[in-house]
Amino acid sequence: QVQLVESGGGLVQAGGSLRLSCVASGISRGIFSITTMAWHRQAPGKSRDLVAYIGGIGGVNYSDSAKGRFTISRDNARNTVYLQMNSLQPEDTAVYYCQGGSAYWGQGTQVTVSS
């Protein structure tokens, strides 16, 4: 059974940085390496929105709000995908979810940015 576990969230002041991690278990490294992985976020009372995704060969795409501040990367040897978030702002406060392919989701990690 595939499981995704996020970590790295927390409370940070505006302008600060956080790095989120998502470890996939129950999946081989070979399958993980060709699976598109994504980060989404959901703020209170709002819909869940795509932040960034990375394809199996490393192609990346970012939401407009993430461009220039966030970097998605992956370590296929560790079945892990990362989201480096810099210059965080209060509007980045949300629960951040990892998605694997189209079917698998993590439980989310809270990111809170204080002004």
pLDDT in tens, 22-80: 999 999 999 999 999 999 999 999 999 999 999 988 799 999 999 999 999 999 999 99
On the 0-12 / 13-18 / 19+ scale of CB atoms within 10 A, 79 is buried
Output the pLDDT for position 58. 76
Lowest average pLDDT, out of 7-11, 58-62, 70-74, 81-85, goes to 58-62
Q: How far apart are the first and last CA of the chain?
A: 40
Residue 17 has pLDDT above 80, yes or no: yes
C-alpha span between 18 and 2 (Å, rounded): 26
Q: Which amino acid is at 14?
A: A
C-alpha span between 11 and 18 (Å, rounded): 9
